[in-house]
Structure 1
Amino acid sequence: MNKKTRCLSLSLLCLASIQAHATTYISAKAMVDVTNGQLINAPLISIDDGKITAIEQQKAPTLKQGDEHIKLPELTLVPGLMDMHVHLTSDPTVPRSERIGQSAPRKAVKAAYFAEKTLHAGFTTLRNVGAEGYTVIAVRDGINAGDIVGPRIWAAGPSLGVTGGHCDNNRLPPEMKYSAEGVADGPWAVRAKVRENIKYGANAIKFCATGGVFSKGTKVGVQQYSQQEMNAIVEEAHLRGLTVAAHAHGTSGIKAAIVAGADSVEHVSFLDDEAIKLAKKHGTWFSMDIYNTEYTLSFGEQNGVDEENLAKERQVSKKQRDSFTRAVKAGIPMVFGTDAAIYPHGDNAKQFSRMVEFGMTPLQALQTATINSAKLLKVDQQLGQINPGFLADIIAVKGNPLENIAVLENVNFVMKNGNVYKK
């Protein structure tokens, strides 16, 4: 190797070394510590390789070549938000009759679009609880590979449900002999369906324990899967280390899902004292979507929602909000779940104000979308806080969410894994 070539090689090596060890610094007006509700003034956060390495106060960084200093002097830093109940393939502004005819590839494109929109709204982690055609699993993998932009996603495959139940498609004529992909009846059949979901990439499982608002011919309060079937679903998923979400409006379905060991129960509309005791005994998380009622009742008819479904929403909405207040007072652990797709994606943070209205403090509401959701997903040593050793999922807003939770509806800055997506 001649002298010129050797010098060039050394220069490239030095440049690579500088780039590999470049540090990103973020300074801001304040930062929320979600574990204790403290507001830390003038933080300086150091980030290397997508992880937070240090947090200091009232200090300016010493920059070396390749370092970056992001200055947010008017903003408050908050951990990236987490929504544990979304449906990225579904668009509430499109009539339901039109959605039936959409192909899996078309739904995957929709999901990619809504994933990026939700990320820009400050949600750096999502759990997508059910989608046909393994579409959201493909979107998740595309995000992880860097092909497209979006949040970190835990994706269930097709939701498990009984024949003719909430997770089946009951809108087509019998001569078509159509069943939704997740339909399975009996303990061994549901085990096989869980295994199939995992085979094709699911890293979460969802099943329907009761009827639902937006299905045809189901009653929201009626249990669908038996106790034996729910036990089999949860046991099979837990054998493989996956968390399980149980859709349950009705009281008996809520209790059966808790007894089966579901990690979270979704909706939880008709709650009684026994269900509260069971949830506390088993450490079950509740995910209660108390924001979307007004949108459904205001815009549902023009978006093709049947009167049957609107009537069920009227039946459920007040009961669910009363149950939410009871659960908060009882100290049931809660995560943030909105059922995004019932209302437009990207409006997820509008639920925070409803949570405060119906019984939570702003800190409690914020914790549902940070440390609590991270605990549900068993990643609470990586996500949900701004702390050294955690992944650099950080958003910034103007104002103090501990005083006015509604400031989370307008996010000015979004970072995920140390990469800036909105600034």
Structure 2
Amino acid sequence: MLKKSLLAAVAVAAMLGGVAAEAKTTLVYAARVITDPDKPSLGPSTVTVTDGRIMTIEPGRAAAPAGADVIDLGDKTLLPGLIDLHVHLTGDPGGDFRNEAVDPDEWGVIVGVKNAAITLRAGFTTVREAGSAQYTAFSLRRGTAEGLIEGPRIIAAGVPLSIIGGHGDVTGFREDVHAILDQGYTCTGAVECAEKVRKASRAGADVIKITATGGVLSQQGRGLGAHFSNDELVSIADTAHSLGLKVMAHAHGERGIEAAAAAGIDSIEHGTFADDAALKVMKAKGTYLVPTLMAFEGVRERLGKGIYTPTVEEKVRMTLGRVGQAVTRAKALGVPIAFGTDAGVFEHGRNAGEFALLVKAGLTPREALASATTTAARLLSMENEIGRIAPGMSADMIAVDGDPLGDVTTLEHVRWVMARGRIAD
């Protein structure tokens, strides 16, 4: 009887964590390892992973302990998992804007499950979800974190804050329809904007997304200039920072970019018309530029095909001649450039096409890779968790043929992915 009681106690303790489960160890061997884009590549090496964490990086082919799994990547290059700071997993390109009056929010989760898997297999082990319906991205975030669905680590914004009738608000419908579709995140005045930041935080946002200027793909037809007042921007930034949250600002027009950076917004998304005056403020304030050049590739491919309304097409034609110029000037002025694509405006899975566009705009292959690893991790304040292959870091790694520090297009064909120690199918 005593023996049975002891066995039962041990079983209960094991279920409650009182008895440690056997650690799962995996050894990953590759002919070349890029641990950090700012450091020289390593030759043949073995990376040991235990329970989702990188334990060691050893030269050559290390001996595997008993019970360990061994992954031999042959002559491939192993490097940190990539980070895309601007995606919309819950949407696909080319949809009619009126769908938001038809499709339930739950449909966004279904679409997001598909796109999360596609994004992971493309080598992106962490993404920042830059705007979705109230809880869709939060549901995806939990699903990938718990391993219930295949996908990257998700840093989620939820519903963006916007001005009434601006980019991010519901536009293009009758006023009575607007009232029904309103998600409750427009604000007017510093006090109300602070309230909406707190509301987003309470709902579960990891980051606050705002639309600081007009946008290209929305039905608001007032151009791409500044939307929020200076007092509203300062209120948003200060409130978010007091809650430990950063703010990402969709911004195209130069004066809207300058105002957002001056207010303390942490990153400018798109930054299409950023001039030297705006970029100098960004440099002084430590504001990151997330260029999303691939978004314009997606838009260009659909222009003139009846996909966009005349309102949208007019704004598209305003922007295409300036794409990439802000990146060139940002680099010259020392503004940090972090990787983001706006996937969802183009097909998910093509994210790595951004690398070649960044290089075309003036970044070196090493700088382009850093933008999607170490620089992106710093913007997320996760530099001790992701963005490098180092002991103690999350086991987020990918493998490609060739050397991406010589040819960034190799990153468009990822051959193997591990995220949080789990190997993607």
Partner amino acid for 2:381?
Answer: K
Question: Are residues 1:199 and 2:202 paired?
Answer: yes
In structure 1, what is the equivalent of residue 177 of structure 2? 176
Q: What is the alpha-carbon distance in structure 2 between the residues aligned to residue 41 and residue 374 of structure 1?
A: 25
Work out which of the residue numbers 287, 300, 305 in structure 2 matches 1:284.
287
Residue 129 of structure 1: aligned partner: 130
What is the 5 A alignment of 1:133-212? 133-178=134-179, 179-212=182-215
C-alpha contact 1:296 1:310 (8 A) present in aligned 2: no
Deviation at 1:90, TM superposition (A): 1.3
Contact 2:116–2:151 under 8 Å retained in 1 = yes
Contact 1:209–1:248 at 8 Å: present in 2 too?
A: yes
- Of the structure 1 ranges 375-384 and 267-276, higher mean CA displacement relative to structure 2 is found in 267-276
Q: Does 1:101 align with 2:110?
A: no
Judge conservation of contact 2:94–2:307 (CA < 8 Å) in 1: no
TM-score, structure 2 normalization: 0.93
Q: Write out the 4+ residue segments of structure 1 that deviate beyond 3 Å after TM superposition.
A: 1-11, 16-19, 93-100, 218-221, 300-303
Amino acid at match of 2:342: D
> Of the candidates 17, 35, 41, which is equivalent to residue 33 of structure 1?
35
Query: Cα–Cα, structure 1 residues 7 and 290, in superposed 2: closer, same or farther, change >3 Å?
Result: closer
CA displacement, residues 10-33 of structure 1 (integer Å, 9 cap, x when unaligned): 99x99x989623321000111113
Change (3 A) 1:2 1:325: same
Amino acid at match of 1:158: V
1:249-285 superposed Cα distances (whole Å, 9 cap, x missing partner): 1111101111111110111111222212111111111
Q: Following TM superposition, by how much is the alpha carbon of 1:147 offset from its aligned partner in structure 2, in angstroms?
A: 2.3
Contact kept, 8 Å, 2:276 with 2:329, in 1: the verdict is no
Tell me which amino acid in the other structure corresponds to 2:170: N
Distance 2:285 2:98 in 1: 41
Offset, 1:228: 0.3
* Unaligned stretches of 5+ residues in structure 2: none
TM-score (norm 1): 0.93
- In 2, the alpha carbon distance for the partners of 1:18 and 1:43 equals 30
**Partner residue, 2:403:** 400
Does the 8 Å CA contact 1:95/1:303 hold for their aligned counterparts? no
Letter in 1 for 2:270: H
2:353 aligned with 1:378: no
CA contact (8 A) 2:134 2:183 kept: no
> 1:329 touches 1:359 (CA, 8 Å); kept in 2?
no
SS at match of 2:398: strand
2:45 paired with 1:22: no
* 1:14-53 deviation line (CA, Å, top 9, x unaligned): 9x98962332100011111334242211010011121111
Q: Which amino acid aligns with 1:322?
A: Q
Q: Which residue of 2 aligns with 1:314?
A: 317
Query: 1: CA distance between counterparts of 2:274 and 2:10?
Result: 68
Q: Which amino acid aligns with 1:22?
A: K
Amino acid at match of 1:42: P
Structure 1 CA distance for aligned equivalents of residues 82 and 223 of structure 2: 29
Q: Secondary structure at the match of 1:265?
A: strand
**Inter-partner Cα distance in structure 2 for 1:328 and 1:218:** 32
Whole-Å separation in 1 of the counterparts to 2:282 and 2:224: 18
Alignment match, 2:390: 387
1:44 to 46, 49, 54: 46
Contact map agreement 2:27 2:71 (CA 8 A) in 1:
yes
Match of 2:229 in 1: 226
**Once structures 1 and 2 are overlaid, which stretch shifts more, 306-315 or 232-241?**
306-315
Residue aligned with 2:255, SS: helix
1:221 touches 1:270 (CA, 8 Å); kept in 2?
A: no
Contact 2:365 2:404 (8 Å CA) reproduced: yes
Is the contact between residue 327 and residue 337 of structure 2 (CA under 8 Å) also seen in structure 1?
A: no
Corresponding pairs, count: 420
Check the 8 A contact 2:27/2:64 in 1, yes or no.
Answer: no
Q: Deviations over 1:182-231 (max 9, x none)?
A: 21111111111111111111111001111010112334431110000011
Decide whether aligned partners of structure 1 residues 108 and 62 sit closer, same or farther in structure 2, where only a CA change above 3 A counts.
Answer: closer
Equivalent position to 1:253, from 256, 281, 294: 256
Aligned residue in 1 for 2:344 = 341
Compare 377-386 and 293-302 and name the one that shifted more: 293-302
- CA distance in 2: counterparts of 1:421 and 1:407, whole angstroms: 19
- In the alignment, which residue of structure 2 is the partner of 1:366? 369
Q: What amino acid does structure 2 have at the position aligned with 1:123?
A: F
1:152 CA drift (Å): 0.6
Q: Which runs of 5+ in 1 are unaligned?
A: none
The 2-side partners of 1:6 and 1:173 are apart by 70
* Pairing partner for 1:243 from 224, 246, 250: 246
Tell me if structure 2 keeps the 8 A contact 1:155–1:204.
yes
SS across alignment from 1:133: coil
Residues 301-351 of structure 1: CA deviation (Å, up to 9, x unaligned): 547211321221221122131111111222210110111111011110111
Identity rate, percent: 35
Q: Contact 2:171–2:178 at 8 Å: present in 1 too?
A: no
User: What is the aligned partner in structure 2 of residue 78 from structure 1?
Assistant: 79
